[in-house]
Amino acid sequence: MSTPEEFDYSNVHFISDQEREYFAEAHLGEQVRSFIASPTGRYLHGRAKQTMSECKDKLADLDPTVKGGIADWKAIKQDMANAESFLKWCAEAIVNGDNAASQLEEYRE
């Protein structure tokens, strides 16, 4: 038995592999949208945004000419990139899912 987040594609009769791909991508987008709306998703989304904001503040105050300044700059930039990647991946999955849903509708017409 599958969980609400999983979907058993074996019972769905797709016209083609293209239709299956559109459906899977649209479903993934909906899963990410549901995740972001969940308490865990809201928490992680908020933490990522908070991390990016804190990193910007740290970079503004950082003096790269002091000992360890360059290493600190690199570490802060990496933390910022990690948070930004999480947000970007979620947004991309949702947008790609919406696009796939539209393409699926067009494909079926």
What the block records as the tokens of 60 is 């503004």
**pTM exceeds 0.85:** no
> Between the CA of residue 21 and those of 3, 72, 109, what are the distances in Å?
21, 43, 17
- Residue pair 98/28 in contact (Cβ under 8 Å)? The answer is no
Distance CA 109, CA 107 (A): 6
pLDDT, one tens digit for every residue, the chain (109 residues): 344 456 666 677 888 888 889 999 999 999 999 999 999 999 999 999 999 999 999 999 999 899 999 999 999 999 999 999 999 999 999 999 999 999 988 887 7
HEC secondary structure over 65-92:
CCCCHHHHHHHHHHHHHHHHHHHHHHHH
Which of 88-91's residues contact partners 24+ apart within 8 Å by CB, and which partners?
Answer: 90/32, 90/35, 90/36, 90/45
